[in-house]
Amino acid sequence: MASVRVNDDLVLRESSASAKGAGLFATRDLERGRRVLCEDPLLECSEPSQAASGRRGDGSRLSDQDMQRLARLPAGPGQPFQVLSGAARLPLQSLFGDDGGARLTNTIKYNQVRIATAKRPMVGFYTAATSHSCSPNAYLSHNETTNTLDLYLVHGVKKGEEITVSYFQDDYACPQSVRAQRLQKWRFVCACACCTTNLAASDARRNEIKRLYSEHDQLDIARLLHCTSLAREWHWEAHREDEYVWDLATCVRTIIQHMKDEGLYGLALTWVLVDYAKHCEKMGNRQLWRENMREALQIREMCLGPFHASTRDLANRIA
Protein backbone atom coordinates (compact mmCIF):
# COMPACT_ATOMS: atom_id res chain seq x y z
CA MET A 1 0.00 0.00 0.00
CA ALA A 2 1.46 3.32 -1.09
CA SER A 3 2.06 5.80 1.67
CA VAL A 4 3.64 9.24 1.84
CA ARG A 5 5.29 10.72 4.91
CA VAL A 6 3.66 14.03 5.90
CA ASN A 7 5.72 14.78 9.04
CA ASP A 8 6.92 12.98 12.21
CA ASP A 9 3.31 12.38 13.30
CA LEU A 10 1.43 11.56 10.10
CA VAL A 11 1.44 9.58 6.88
CA LEU A 12 -0.92 9.92 3.95
CA ARG A 13 -2.20 6.59 2.69
CA GLU A 14 -5.22 4.79 1.36
CA SER A 15 -8.33 4.98 3.49
CA SER A 16 -11.62 3.17 3.26
CA ALA A 17 -13.32 5.89 5.33
CA SER A 18 -12.69 8.58 2.74
CA ALA A 19 -14.48 9.38 -0.49
CA LYS A 20 -11.12 10.52 -1.85
CA GLY A 21 -9.40 7.22 -1.28
CA ALA A 22 -6.76 8.73 1.00
CA GLY A 23 -6.49 9.70 4.63
CA LEU A 24 -4.03 10.87 7.29
CA PHE A 25 -2.85 8.28 9.84
CA ALA A 26 -0.87 8.60 13.08
CA THR A 27 2.64 7.14 12.95
CA ARG A 28 2.74 6.90 16.77
CA ASP A 29 0.60 7.48 19.86
CA LEU A 30 -0.33 11.18 19.98
CA GLU A 31 -1.81 13.20 22.84
CA ARG A 32 -4.89 15.43 22.69
CA GLY A 33 -4.22 19.10 22.09
CA ARG A 34 -1.26 18.34 19.82
CA ARG A 35 -0.98 20.23 16.54
CA VAL A 36 -0.33 17.46 14.04
CA LEU A 37 -0.41 19.53 10.86
CA CYS A 38 0.26 23.13 9.85
CA GLU A 39 0.13 23.92 6.15
CA ASP A 40 -0.20 26.90 3.84
CA PRO A 41 -3.52 26.88 1.98
CA LEU A 42 -3.11 26.38 -1.75
CA LEU A 43 -6.16 28.51 -2.44
CA GLU A 44 -8.59 30.82 -0.73
CA CYS A 45 -12.03 30.82 -2.30
CA SER A 46 -14.53 33.62 -2.54
CA GLU A 47 -18.22 32.82 -2.58
CA PRO A 48 -20.59 32.41 -4.24
CA SER A 49 -18.73 32.30 -7.55
CA GLN A 50 -16.16 29.75 -6.26
CA ALA A 51 -13.48 31.95 -7.81
CA ALA A 52 -10.12 31.35 -6.26
CA SER A 53 -6.89 33.24 -5.88
CA GLY A 54 -3.40 32.16 -5.00
CA ARG A 55 -2.38 32.66 -1.41
CA ARG A 56 0.54 34.90 -2.32
CA GLY A 57 -1.30 38.11 -3.04
CA ASP A 58 -4.73 38.44 -4.58
CA GLY A 59 -5.03 37.12 -8.09
CA SER A 60 -1.38 36.25 -8.35
CA ARG A 61 -0.47 32.96 -9.88
CA LEU A 62 0.39 29.96 -7.79
CA SER A 63 3.93 28.64 -7.80
CA ASP A 64 4.65 25.68 -10.08
CA GLN A 65 4.96 23.43 -7.03
CA ASP A 66 1.54 24.48 -5.71
CA MET A 67 0.04 23.98 -9.16
CA GLN A 68 1.42 20.44 -9.17
CA ARG A 69 -0.14 19.78 -5.77
CA LEU A 70 -3.46 21.20 -6.90
CA ALA A 71 -3.37 18.97 -9.99
CA ARG A 72 -2.96 15.91 -7.72
CA LEU A 73 -6.14 16.58 -5.76
CA PRO A 74 -9.21 14.59 -6.78
CA ALA A 75 -11.83 16.48 -8.79
CA GLY A 76 -14.76 14.31 -7.75
CA PRO A 77 -15.82 10.92 -6.38
CA GLY A 78 -13.86 7.99 -7.76
CA GLN A 79 -10.78 10.09 -8.50
CA PRO A 80 -8.15 9.22 -5.91
CA PHE A 81 -5.31 11.39 -4.69
CA GLN A 82 -2.70 11.17 -7.42
CA VAL A 83 0.06 11.55 -4.87
CA LEU A 84 -0.47 7.89 -4.02
CA SER A 85 0.43 6.72 -7.48
CA GLY A 86 3.85 8.32 -7.48
CA ALA A 87 5.17 11.85 -7.41
CA ALA A 88 5.60 12.21 -11.16
CA ARG A 89 5.04 15.66 -12.57
CA LEU A 90 1.51 16.04 -13.82
CA PRO A 91 0.58 18.07 -16.85
CA LEU A 92 -0.83 21.36 -15.61
CA GLN A 93 -2.92 21.24 -18.73
CA SER A 94 -5.13 18.81 -16.81
CA LEU A 95 -6.22 21.67 -14.53
CA PHE A 96 -6.75 24.39 -17.11
CA GLY A 97 -7.35 22.24 -20.16
CA ASP A 98 -9.84 22.23 -22.98
CA ASP A 99 -12.76 21.86 -20.60
CA GLY A 100 -12.54 25.55 -19.75
CA GLY A 101 -11.32 25.05 -16.19
CA ALA A 102 -14.10 22.64 -15.20
CA ARG A 103 -11.60 20.37 -13.52
CA LEU A 104 -10.21 23.24 -11.47
CA THR A 105 -13.73 24.26 -10.40
CA ASN A 106 -14.52 20.68 -9.36
CA THR A 107 -11.21 20.35 -7.52
CA ILE A 108 -12.04 23.44 -5.49
CA LYS A 109 -15.63 22.39 -4.80
CA TYR A 110 -14.65 18.89 -3.76
CA ASN A 111 -11.68 19.76 -1.57
CA GLN A 112 -12.46 23.11 0.00
CA VAL A 113 -12.91 23.27 3.76
CA ARG A 114 -15.17 25.67 5.61
CA ILE A 115 -13.71 26.71 8.90
CA ALA A 116 -15.42 28.60 11.71
CA THR A 117 -12.35 30.81 12.21
CA ALA A 118 -11.78 31.63 8.51
CA LYS A 119 -13.64 34.20 6.45
CA ARG A 120 -13.47 32.17 3.23
CA PRO A 121 -13.43 28.49 2.27
CA MET A 122 -9.90 27.21 1.63
CA VAL A 123 -8.13 24.38 -0.10
CA GLY A 124 -5.09 22.79 1.54
CA PHE A 125 -3.24 19.79 0.14
CA TYR A 126 -3.11 17.52 3.21
CA THR A 127 -6.23 18.93 4.86
CA ALA A 128 -8.10 17.99 1.66
CA ALA A 129 -7.16 14.36 2.39
CA THR A 130 -8.54 14.32 5.93
CA SER A 131 -11.48 11.94 6.30
CA HIS A 132 -14.81 12.78 7.85
CA SER A 133 -16.23 11.41 11.09
CA CYS A 134 -19.37 12.56 12.92
CA SER A 135 -17.40 12.20 16.15
CA PRO A 136 -13.98 13.38 14.96
CA ASN A 137 -10.67 13.17 16.84
CA ALA A 138 -9.29 16.36 15.32
CA TYR A 139 -10.29 19.96 14.72
CA LEU A 140 -9.28 22.03 11.71
CA SER A 141 -8.73 25.74 12.22
CA HIS A 142 -7.34 28.69 10.32
CA ASN A 143 -4.71 30.87 11.95
CA GLU A 144 -5.10 34.41 10.63
CA THR A 145 -1.72 35.56 11.90
CA THR A 146 0.25 32.88 10.06
CA ASN A 147 -2.44 32.21 7.39
CA THR A 148 -2.05 28.48 7.92
CA LEU A 149 -4.47 25.59 8.15
CA ASP A 150 -3.81 23.98 11.53
CA LEU A 151 -5.00 20.54 12.56
CA TYR A 152 -5.26 19.88 16.31
CA LEU A 153 -6.18 16.65 18.09
CA VAL A 154 -9.20 16.92 20.39
CA HIS A 155 -8.82 13.29 21.47
CA GLY A 156 -5.67 11.25 21.95
CA VAL A 157 -5.03 8.80 19.09
CA LYS A 158 -3.14 5.51 18.91
CA LYS A 159 -0.45 4.62 16.41
CA GLY A 160 -2.07 3.64 13.10
CA GLU A 161 -5.37 5.38 13.88
CA GLU A 162 -6.88 7.63 11.22
CA ILE A 163 -7.15 11.37 11.87
CA THR A 164 -10.71 12.62 11.26
CA VAL A 165 -12.52 15.94 11.20
CA SER A 166 -16.18 16.81 10.72
CA TYR A 167 -16.94 18.22 7.27
CA PHE A 168 -19.70 20.33 8.86
CA GLN A 169 -19.72 22.90 11.63
CA ASP A 170 -23.17 22.27 13.05
CA ASP A 171 -23.73 18.52 12.85
CA TYR A 172 -24.02 18.21 16.64
CA ALA A 173 -27.74 18.98 16.20
CA CYS A 174 -28.27 16.76 13.11
CA PRO A 175 -29.40 13.12 13.23
CA GLN A 176 -27.72 10.54 10.98
CA SER A 177 -30.32 10.86 8.18
CA VAL A 178 -29.59 14.58 7.79
CA ARG A 179 -25.81 14.04 7.91
CA ALA A 180 -26.02 11.27 5.29
CA GLN A 181 -27.92 13.61 3.00
CA ARG A 182 -25.29 16.32 3.37
CA LEU A 183 -22.47 13.83 2.76
CA GLN A 184 -23.96 12.98 -0.63
CA LYS A 185 -21.90 15.87 -1.98
CA TRP A 186 -18.86 13.60 -1.53
CA ARG A 187 -20.88 10.52 -2.47
CA PHE A 188 -19.83 8.36 0.43
CA VAL A 189 -21.60 6.71 3.32
CA CYS A 190 -20.16 7.52 6.74
CA ALA A 191 -19.37 4.41 8.77
CA CYS A 192 -18.28 6.12 12.00
CA ALA A 193 -19.58 4.78 15.35
CA CYS A 194 -22.30 7.48 15.52
CA CYS A 195 -23.65 6.30 12.15
CA THR A 196 -23.39 2.55 12.89
CA THR A 197 -22.92 0.85 16.27
CA ASN A 198 -24.02 3.82 18.41
CA LEU A 199 -26.69 5.06 16.00
CA ALA A 200 -29.74 4.92 18.28
CA ALA A 201 -28.06 6.59 21.26
CA SER A 202 -26.32 9.14 19.06
CA ASP A 203 -29.49 10.13 17.22
CA ALA A 204 -31.37 10.45 20.51
CA ARG A 205 -28.70 12.82 21.87
CA ARG A 206 -28.48 14.96 18.72
CA ASN A 207 -32.26 15.25 18.39
CA GLU A 208 -32.35 16.30 22.04
CA ILE A 209 -29.63 18.93 21.42
CA LYS A 210 -31.72 20.30 18.54
CA ARG A 211 -34.85 20.44 20.72
CA LEU A 212 -32.96 22.12 23.58
CA TYR A 213 -31.54 24.76 21.23
CA SER A 214 -35.04 25.64 20.06
CA GLU A 215 -36.29 25.73 23.67
CA HIS A 216 -33.33 27.93 24.58
CA ASP A 217 -34.19 30.44 21.83
CA GLN A 218 -37.83 30.61 22.90
CA LEU A 219 -36.87 31.13 26.54
CA ASP A 220 -34.42 33.84 25.57
CA ILE A 221 -37.04 35.71 23.51
CA ALA A 222 -39.52 35.42 26.39
CA ARG A 223 -36.88 36.74 28.79
CA LEU A 224 -36.11 39.72 26.53
CA LEU A 225 -39.82 40.52 26.17
CA HIS A 226 -40.17 40.38 29.92
CA CYS A 227 -37.36 42.92 30.26
CA THR A 228 -38.96 45.53 28.01
CA SER A 229 -40.35 48.64 29.60
CA LEU A 230 -43.77 47.78 28.19
CA ALA A 231 -43.82 44.50 30.10
CA ARG A 232 -42.77 46.28 33.28
CA GLU A 233 -45.46 48.89 32.75
CA TRP A 234 -48.04 46.16 32.55
CA HIS A 235 -46.58 44.52 35.68
CA TRP A 236 -46.09 41.37 33.70
CA GLU A 237 -44.78 39.17 36.47
CA ALA A 238 -45.88 35.78 35.18
CA HIS A 239 -42.28 34.63 35.04
CA ARG A 240 -39.53 36.56 36.84
CA GLU A 241 -36.30 37.17 34.94
CA ASP A 242 -34.16 35.08 37.29
CA GLU A 243 -36.47 32.15 36.68
CA TYR A 244 -35.86 32.53 32.95
CA VAL A 245 -32.13 32.57 33.55
CA TRP A 246 -32.39 29.44 35.67
CA ASP A 247 -34.33 27.64 32.90
CA LEU A 248 -31.85 28.85 30.26
CA ALA A 249 -28.90 27.62 32.35
CA THR A 250 -30.53 24.20 32.82
CA CYS A 251 -31.11 23.96 29.09
CA VAL A 252 -27.51 24.83 28.20
CA ARG A 253 -26.03 22.54 30.87
CA THR A 254 -27.89 19.60 29.32
CA ILE A 255 -26.65 20.51 25.83
CA ILE A 256 -23.07 20.53 27.17
CA GLN A 257 -23.51 17.07 28.68
CA HIS A 258 -24.94 15.63 25.43
CA MET A 259 -22.10 17.13 23.38
CA LYS A 260 -19.51 15.63 25.71
CA ASP A 261 -21.26 12.24 25.62
CA GLU A 262 -21.07 12.42 21.81
CA GLY A 263 -17.34 13.18 22.09
CA LEU A 264 -17.84 16.52 20.29
CA TYR A 265 -14.97 18.59 21.64
CA GLY A 266 -14.99 21.23 18.88
CA LEU A 267 -15.27 25.00 18.96
CA ALA A 268 -19.07 24.74 19.31
CA LEU A 269 -18.65 23.24 22.79
CA THR A 270 -16.64 26.30 23.87
CA TRP A 271 -19.46 28.63 22.72
CA VAL A 272 -21.98 26.67 24.77
CA LEU A 273 -19.70 26.65 27.82
CA VAL A 274 -19.26 30.43 27.58
CA ASP A 275 -23.05 30.80 27.29
CA TYR A 276 -23.53 28.64 30.39
CA ALA A 277 -20.92 30.68 32.26
CA LYS A 278 -22.83 33.86 31.34
CA HIS A 279 -26.03 32.45 32.88
CA CYS A 280 -24.12 31.38 36.02
CA GLU A 281 -22.81 34.93 36.39
CA LYS A 282 -26.33 36.34 36.05
CA MET A 283 -27.38 34.06 38.88
CA GLY A 284 -24.53 35.45 40.95
CA ASN A 285 -22.38 32.32 40.92
CA ARG A 286 -18.95 33.73 40.11
CA GLN A 287 -17.21 30.45 40.99
CA LEU A 288 -19.22 28.47 38.44
CA TRP A 289 -18.66 31.25 35.87
CA ARG A 290 -14.89 30.88 36.32
CA GLU A 291 -14.93 27.07 36.19
CA ASN A 292 -16.86 27.00 32.92
CA MET A 293 -14.87 29.82 31.31
CA ARG A 294 -11.68 27.93 32.17
CA GLU A 295 -13.00 24.74 30.66
CA ALA A 296 -14.02 26.65 27.52
CA LEU A 297 -10.49 28.11 27.35
CA GLN A 298 -8.92 24.68 27.76
CA ILE A 299 -10.96 23.28 24.84
CA ARG A 300 -10.40 26.35 22.69
CA GLU A 301 -6.65 25.94 23.20
CA MET A 302 -7.05 22.34 22.13
CA CYS A 303 -8.90 23.31 18.92
CA LEU A 304 -7.05 26.48 17.94
CA GLY A 305 -3.78 26.45 19.87
CA PRO A 306 -2.77 28.86 22.66
CA PHE A 307 -1.78 31.74 20.36
CA HIS A 308 -4.90 32.04 18.23
CA ALA A 309 -6.68 35.41 18.54
CA SER A 310 -9.92 33.71 19.72
CA THR A 311 -8.02 31.81 22.42
CA ARG A 312 -6.25 34.94 23.65
CA ASP A 313 -9.52 36.86 23.59
CA LEU A 314 -11.14 34.27 25.88
CA ALA A 315 -8.07 34.18 28.16
CA ASN A 316 -8.28 37.98 28.55
CA ARG A 317 -11.93 37.77 29.54
CA ILE A 318 -11.06 35.38 32.37
CA ALA A 319 -7.99 37.28 33.61
Binding site for Zn ion (CB under 5 A): 134, 190, 192, 194-195
Distance CA 236, CA 230 (A): 9
Q: Is the Cβ of residue 194 or residue 245 nearer to Zn ion in the bound state?
A: 194
Residues in the chain: 319
User: Shortest approach of Zn ion to residue 140 CB, angstroms?
Assistant: 17
User: Shortest approach of Zn ion to residue 178 CB, angstroms?
Assistant: 11
User: In 10 A of CB 249, how many CB atoms?
Assistant: 20
Instruction: Calculate the alpha carbon distances from 84 to 48, 67, 113 in Å.
Output: 32, 17, 21
Question: Which residue intervals of the chain are DSSP H helices?
Answer: 64-72, 102-111, 176-182, 199-227, 229-233, 241-261, 267-282, 286-304, 309-318
Residue 318 · residue 288 · CB < 8 Å: no
Distance CA 256, CA 235 (A): 35
User: Shortest approach of Zn ion to residue 191 CB, angstroms?
Assistant: 7
Residues 6+ apart with CB under 8 A from 160: 25, 26
Distance CA 66, CA 56 (A): 11
Q: Is the Cβ of residue 194 or residue 302 nearer to Zn ion in the bound state?
A: 194
User: Shortest approach of Zn ion to residue 121 CB, angstroms?
Assistant: 22
Residue 277 · residue 248 · CB < 8 Å: no
Distance CA 284, CA 288 (A): 9
Q: Is the Cβ of residue 206 or residue 300 nearer to Zn ion in the bound state?
A: 206
User: Shortest approach of Zn ion to residue 155 CB, angstroms?
Assistant: 15
Q: Is the Cβ of residue 54 or residue 136 nearer to Zn ion in the bound state?
A: 136
User: Shortest approach of Zn ion to residue 20 CB, angstroms?
Assistant: 16
Residues 6+ apart with CB under 8 A from 87: none
What's phi and psi for 312, nearest 5 deg?
-65, -35
User: Shortest approach of Zn ion to residue 172 CB, angstroms?
Assistant: 12
Q: Is the Cβ of residue 62 or residue 140 nearer to Zn ion in the bound state?
A: 140
Q: Is the Cβ of residue 63 or residue 196 nearer to Zn ion in the bound state?
A: 196
By the 10 Å C-beta count (0-12 exposed, 13-18 middle, 19+ buried), 112 is classed as buried
User: Shortest approach of Zn ion to residue 192 CB, angstroms?
Assistant: 3
- Looking at residue 30, the DSSP 8-state letter turns out to be B
Buried b (16+ CB within 10 A) or exposed e, 121-143: bbbbbbbbbbbbbbbbbbbbbbb
User: Shortest approach of Zn ion to residue 122 CB, angstroms?
Assistant: 23
Q: Is the Cβ of residue 103 or residue 205 nearer to Zn ion in the bound state?
A: 205
Instruction: Calculate the alpha carbon distances from 157 to 141, 213, 252 in Å.
Output: 19, 31, 29
